[in-house]
């Protein structure tokens, strides 16, 4: 067969599979319209994918044109995906179906810091915990399509990891895990996985232009997309905005800098600041009462509640956070001039106060006040549904092998 025809067919199969995965239930007619592929081609590919057990057809429904059309969806039983996320000293292992529904989970605390020549021990501890998890769920792991390893720090083009806190330098962790498990392993940072998921839900006129994805948890980072493709930079570290200094006289960060953006606007740091407020003798009584009602748990949701109930002390913290977020967004707007900015994290999705205050700060200081402000949006996927984006990322990377 003509190689160009083969590649065209593979491309159509990938587009159809990804569209089905994103939309759960969709008709052949809708697939044809959305992807610009002829109905006959869609029908042939759907038949082939059903025969391969990759997708299933569901009950009929009435379409917008008055006809009844069968719906197709990804066969959730065809493959499973393993998400392994490393944060601080914990490994979070989640076995999921293709749609990101968690089937089994396990967390393990491991010494992640490499020092005194213990790199082999650190890698072995991580690998052994993954092997143990797979062994415990051996009845569920026969159909694992692939594994995505989500790491802190930076990932080079060939998959090696640099992580300042853990003292990792060009650590080939993904290769070690793949060798031990025999499962294809993809490695990336959470920011890029989330960003790639979010831009899929933008209108085509925005998705095909320039988009900034700004994540405020965990950590702070930025991904920049042009025409749907991410910019990586020479060292694969484009978007390390979390360690840009917004206050040269601010607190010292572990990176050696002072007053980093991450220190002011990352969720974990804000929670610590709220806890310090509670520890003060003159701490806010409104906020303290809310925390006591929730068995001592401190959250951003409670902080916004306290602010709405009249807490000036909590408002002062939120206003300070909003000011630094506004400064960072002003930098993003002035330097990158994107068509769209998507923000992710509880700080901007639980309550609109911080984001609206940050935007007001930004708008007052743009050099040229025009109507051409970027479209400002918040992420569709909440942080507690992160595995959904991981599974989409893994599935897309596995498509060549699956097909």
Per-domain residue ranges for the chain? Answer: 3-74, 80-188, 202-381
User: Does 66 score more than 60 pLDDT?
Assistant: no
pLDDT of 74 reads 83
Give the pLDDT score at 150: 95
Q: What is the percent of the chain with per-residue pLDDT over 70, rounded to a whole number? A: 93
Task: State how far the Cα of 190 lies from the Cα of 342, in Å rounded to an integer.
Answer: 15
**Mean pLDDT within 221-244:** 82
Which residues are within 8 A (CB) of 77 and not within 5 positions of it... i.e. 6 or more apart? 97, 143
Confidence class for position 164, pLDDT limits 50, 70, 90: confident
Q: What is the DSSP string of 146-187?
A: EEEEE-SSEE-TTS-EEETTTTEEEE-HHHHHHHHH-S-EEE
Of the pLDDT bands very low, low, confident and very high (cuts 50, 70, 90), residue 8 is: confident
Of the two residues 50 and 354, the one the predictor is more confident about is 354
252 burial (CB, 10 Å; 0-12 / 13-18 / 19+) is exposed
> Average pLDDT in the 183-212 region?
88
Q: What is the mean pLDDT of residues 344-366?
A: 92
pLDDT of residue 73: 84
pLDDT recorded at residue 340: 93
pLDDT bucket at 31, cuts 50 / 70 / 90? confident
pLDDT at 254: 79
pLDDT at residue 347 above 50?
yes
In SS3 terms, 306-337 reads as HHHCCCHHHHHHHHHHHHHHHHHHHHHHHHHC
Residue 307 has pLDDT above 80, yes or no: yes
- The pLDDT, as a whole number, for residue 202 is 86
CATH H-level superfamily of 202-381: ATPase, nucleotide binding domain (3.30.420.40)
Position 63 pLDDT exceeds 60:
no
Report the pLDDT averaged over residues 209-234: 87
pLDDT at site 120: 94
For residue 215, give every residue at least 6 positions away whose Cβ sits within 8 Å of its Cβ, in sequence order, or none: 190, 191, 194, 195, 221, 222, 223, 344, 345
What is residue 359's predicted lDDT score, i.e. its pLDDT?
94
Q: Under 8 Å CB-to-CB from 362, ≥6 apart: which residues?
A: 326, 329, 330, 333
What pLDDT, in 10s, does the model give residues 127-163?
999 999 999 887 765 678 899 999 988 888 888 999 9
Mean pLDDT for 180-200 is 91
158 CB-near residues (< 8 Å, 6+ apart): none
How far is Cα 13 from Cα 19, in angstroms, rounded to an integer? 10
What pLDDT does residue 143 have? 79
**Over the chain, what is the mean pLDDT?**
87
- Topology of domain 3-74 in CATH is Arc Repressor Mutant, subunit A (1.10.10)
Whether the per-residue pLDDT at 67 is higher than 70: the answer is no
* pLDDT band with cut points at 50, 70 and 90 for residue 62: very low
Kindly report the pTM of this predicted structure.
Answer: 0.83
Question: Mean pLDDT over residues 344-352, rounded?
Answer: 91
Q: How far apart are CA 322 and CA 208, in angstroms?
A: 30
Tens digit of pLDDT for each residue in 263-295?
999 998 999 999 998 888 677 888 888 888 888
Same fold yes or no, 80-188 and 202-381? yes
Q: Which two tokens stand for residue 214?
A: 């700004």
Whole-number pLDDT of residue 60: 60
Sheet with 161-163: strands ordered across:
154-155, 161-163, 168-171
206 CB-near residues (< 8 Å, 6+ apart): 339, 340, 375
* pLDDT score of 26: 86
Where does residue 164 rank: exposed (0-12), middle (13-18), buried (19+ CB within 10 A)?
middle
Per the CB < 8 A criterion, the answer to whether 110 and 175 are in contact is no
Whether 86 shows a pLDDT value over 90: the answer reads yes
Average pLDDT over every residue of 247-267: 87
Round to whole Å and give the CA distance between 370 and 367: 9
Q: In CATH, what number does 80-188 get? A: 3.30.420.40
pLDDT digits (tens, 9 = 90+) for 314-342: 999 999 999 999 999 999 998 898 999 99
In this predicted model, what pLDDT tens digit does every residue of 108-129 receive, in sequence order?
999 999 998 899 999 999 999 9
Q: Pick from 15-29, 276-290, 297-311, 358-372 the range whose average pLDDT is largest.
A: 297-311
Per-residue pLDDT for 247 more than 50? Answer: yes
How large a percentage of the chain has pLDDT more than 90? 39
């Amino acid at each position: 067969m003509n190689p160009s025809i083969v590649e065209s067919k593979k491309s159509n199969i990938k587009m159809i599979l990804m569209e089905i995965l994103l939309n759960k239930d969709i008709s052949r007619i809708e697939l044809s319209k959305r992807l610009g592929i002829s109905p006959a081609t869609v029908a042939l590919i759907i038949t082939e994918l059903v025969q391969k057990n990759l997708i299933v057809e569901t009950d009929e429904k009435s379409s917008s044109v008055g006809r009844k059309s069968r719906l197709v969806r990804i066969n959730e039983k065809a493959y499973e995906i393993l998400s392994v996320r490393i944060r601080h000293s914990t490994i979070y292992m989640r076995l999921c179906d293709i749609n990101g529904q968690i089937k089994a989970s396990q967390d393990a605390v491991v010494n992640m810091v490499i020092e005194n020549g213990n790199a082999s021990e650190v890698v072995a501890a991580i690998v052994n915990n993954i092997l143990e998890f797979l062994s415990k769920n051996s009845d569920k792991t026969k159909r694992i399509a692939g594994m995505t390893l989500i790491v802190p720090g930076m990932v080079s083009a060939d998959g090696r990891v640099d992580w300042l806190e853990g003292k990792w330098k060009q650590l080939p962790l993904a290769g070690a895990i793949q060798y031990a498990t025999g499962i294809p392993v993809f490695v990336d940072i959470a920011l890029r996985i989330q960003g790639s998921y979010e831009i899929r839900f933008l209108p085509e006129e925005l998705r095909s232009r320039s988009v900034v994805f700004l994540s405020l948890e965990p950590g702070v980072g930025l991904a920049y997309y042009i025409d749907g493709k991410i910019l990586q930079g020479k060292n694969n570290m484009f978007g390390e905005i979390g360690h840009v200094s917004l206050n040269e006289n601010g607190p010292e960060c572990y990176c050696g800098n002072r007053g980093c953006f991450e220190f002011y606007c990352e969720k974990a740091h804000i929670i610590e600041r709220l806890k310090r407020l509670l520890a003060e003798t003159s701490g806010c009584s409104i906020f303290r009462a809310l925390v006591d009602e929730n068995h001592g748990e401190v959250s951003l949701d409670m902080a916004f509640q306290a602010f709405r109930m009249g807490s000036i002390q909590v408002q002062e913290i939120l206003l300070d956070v909003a000011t630094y977020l506004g400064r960072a967004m002003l930098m993003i707007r002035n330097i990158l001039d994107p068509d769209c900015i998507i923000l992710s994290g509880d700080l901007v999705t639980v309550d609109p106060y911080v984001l609206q205050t940050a935007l007001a700060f930004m708008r007052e200081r743009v050099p040229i006040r025009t109507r051409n402000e970027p479209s400002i949006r918040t992420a569709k996927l909440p942080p507690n549904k992160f595995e959904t984006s991981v599974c989409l990322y893994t599935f897309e990377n596995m498509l060549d092998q699956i097909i």
